[in-house]
């Protein structure tokens, strides 16, 4: 049976983790997978998470199943920081990470309306297309960003979405766009909200970096505008980056429905679709987030550490741009990533000659590097002829 299997190509992002670990050069720089590091190169367990783990260890007295919806208080707490406390007809379900939320959302769309297309802006996280396709959704593409000029192609995007049919889904990055760092501004969110309402489209917001762009409220301001305008919407939420819970696979899917009756049917359908997938979600990460939300002290500790992480990423952006004016656009972009206009051979030379690791697309994770590496990064980019003089 298995002789029919062909070796799949390695995942281009995940392969970087191993390649970087195996590189023995002392001055190597990891701009690959989207993981936050502090200025000493560590991905810390956040202080509030550590304390919540201590509390969990002391107080948890059973590991019996919670049910397919997961930790309900965790889901409610997240919903409150995403959409605010007054949010009728929204139902949420805990998922294994943001990827689980996207996959469940794709299956929900395919179950609800198989003819709907999911419109994805390019470039995007390389896993978006595969996740939606694996969830049996039909994918259509629109152009979001021009890497050569570092510009959001807003008019092109609006034109493409004007051809979308009623019930089609539009995937949008809530904040800290992956891979470009180029976020929509509020005027653009408002225009999209108008189009969504006018054409009966369904927004699907991928909120994977909440609080790592402009702050906890500002990072969901666009999402809230669009949620107000749309009768139906989906949100995939990840706690990987903003709680540093990467390997604990902690996330949730939220769906807004036009009325309570429909919302309850959606909640039951989500649980029903989760059952043959992961049956019930892993508990640990969600329990920690719940414990953090139950304590004013822990909540304060978490949000202030998040502010510090965000400030470090801005400092790295400023340090690199300060050395090389052709990279000034880095300062206007937000979150972990920017996408440099690099050829595959330039990316390869950066790795082989300079030990600088990045995704094959030229995406760089600025949160992966030390500020003191800024000069060496710019020198390496110059050495491989990577700095486009028109930028």
The residue (of 36 and 119) whose beta carbon lies closer to ligand LMR is: 36
Q: Is 34 in the site for ligand LMR (CB under 6 A)?
A: yes
Asked if 79 touches ligand LMR (CB under 6 A), the answer is no
Residues 89-128 that bind ligand LMR (CB under 6 A): 125, 127
In the numeric block, the tokens 């094959």 are attached to 360
339 DSSP β-pair partners: 363
Which residue number, 13 or 327, has a Cβ lying nearer to ligand LMR?
Answer: 13
- Pairing type for strands 169-173 and 151-152 reads unpaired
111 bridge partner residues = none
Nearer residue to ligand LMR within complex by CB, 116 or 242? 242
> What does the per-residue mask of binding to ligand LMR show for 122-161, with x meaning CB under 6 A?
---x-x----------------------------------
Least distance CB 240 / ligand LMR (angstroms)? 7
CB of 103 or CB of 256, closer to ligand LMR? 103
33 forms part of the interface with ligand LMR (CB under 6 A): yes
Phi, psi of 21 (to 5 degrees): -60, -35
C-alpha–C-alpha distance, residues 224 and 226, integer Å: 5
- Contacts to ligand LMR from residues 304-363, by CB under 6 A: none
How many residues touch ligand LMR (CB under 6 A)?
6
Q: Which residue is nearest to ligand LMR (CB)?
A: 34
Q: Smallest gap, in angstroms, from Cβ of residue 244 to ligand LMR?
A: 13
Q: Mark whether 208 is an active-site residue.
A: yes
- Is 13 a binding residue for ligand LMR by CB under 6 A? The answer is yes
DSSP string for 1-17: -GGGPPPPPPPTTHHHH
Buried b (16+ CB within 10 A) or exposed e, 5-31: eeeeeeeebeebeeebeeeeeeeebbb
**Catalytic residue list contains 125:** yes
Note the helical H segments in the chain: 14-22, 47-59, 72-83, 97-112, 128-134, 154-161, 186-199, 221-229, 260-274, 284-293, 296-323, 329-332, 344-354, 374-383
Asked about 264 being catalytic, the answer comes back as: no
Exactly one of 101, 119, 125, 256 is catalytic; name it. Answer: 125
Pair of tokens at residue 382: 């110059």
Closest CB to ligand LMR among 125 and 254?
125
DSSP 40: T
Among this protein's residues, is 119 annotated catalytic? Answer: no
Q: CB of 229 within 8 A of CB of 194?
A: yes
Q: How far is the CB of 268 from ligand LMR (least distance, A)?
A: 29
Q: Residue with structure tokens 């509030």?
A: 48
Per rule CB under 6 A, is residue 16 in the interface with ligand LMR? no
- List residues bridging with 94 in a β-sheet: 252
Cβ distance to ligand LMR smaller for residue 33 or 93: 33
Cβ at position 320, least distance to ligand LMR in Å: 19
Distance of CA 159 to the CA centre of its chain: 25
Give the CA-trace dihedral at 98, 189, 161, 201, to 10 degrees. Answer: 70
By CB under 6 A, name the one of 94, 116, 150, 178 that touches ligand LMR: 178
CB of 34 to ligand LMR, least distance (A): 3
Known catalytic residues? 125, 206, 208, 241
Q: Which residues bind ligand LMR (CB under 6 A)?
A: 13, 33-34, 125, 127, 178
């Amino acid at each position: 049976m298995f002789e029919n299997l062909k070796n799949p190509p390695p995942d281009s992002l995940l392969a970087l983790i191993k390649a970087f670990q195996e590189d023995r050069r002392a001055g190597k720089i990891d701009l690959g997978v989207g993981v936050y590091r502090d200025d000493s190169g560590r991905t810390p367990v956040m202080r509030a998470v550590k304390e919540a783990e201590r509390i969990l260890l002391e107080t948890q007295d059973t590991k019996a199943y919670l049910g397919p919806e997961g930790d309900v208080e965790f889901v409610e707490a997240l919903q409150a920081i995403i959409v605010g406390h007054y949010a009728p007809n929204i139902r949420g379900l805990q998922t294994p990470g943001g990827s689980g939320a996207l996959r469940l959302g794709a299956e929900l769309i395919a179950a609800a309306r198989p003819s709907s297309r999911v419109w994805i802006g390019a470039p995007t996280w390389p896993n978006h297309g595969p996740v939606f396709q694996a969830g049996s959704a039909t994918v259509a593409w629109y152009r979001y960003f021009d890497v050569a000029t570092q510009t959001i192609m807003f008019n092109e995007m609006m034109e493409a979405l004007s051809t979308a049919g009623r019930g089609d889904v539009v995937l949008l990055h809530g904040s800290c766009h992956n891979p470009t760092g180029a976020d929509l501004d509020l005027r653009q969110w408002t225009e999209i909200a108008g189009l969504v309402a006018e054409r009966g489209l369904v927004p699907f917001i991928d909120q994977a970096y909440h609080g790592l762009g402009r702050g906890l409220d500002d990072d969901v301001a666009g999402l809230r505008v669009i949620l107000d305008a749309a009768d139906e919407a989906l949100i995939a939420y990840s706690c990987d980056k903003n709680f540093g819970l990467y390997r604990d696979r902690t996330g949730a899917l939220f769906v807004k429905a036009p009325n309570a009756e429909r919302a309850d049917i959606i909640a039951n359908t989500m649980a029903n679709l989760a059952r043959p997938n992961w049956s019930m979600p892993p508990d640990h990460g969600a329990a920690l987030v719940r414990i953090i939300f139950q304590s004013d002290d822990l909540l304060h500790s978490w949000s202030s550490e998040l502010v510090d992480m965000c400030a470090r990423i801005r400092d790295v952006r400023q340090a690199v741009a300060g050395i090389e004016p052709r990279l000034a656009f880095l300062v206007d972009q937000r979150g972990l990533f920017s996408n440099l206009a690099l050829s595959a051979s330039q990316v390869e030379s950066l790795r082989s000659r300079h030990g600088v690791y990045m995704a094959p697309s030229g995406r760089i994770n600025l949160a992966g590097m030390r500020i003191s590496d800024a000069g060496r990064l710019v020198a390496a980019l110059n050495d491989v002829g990577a700095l486009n003089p028109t930028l």
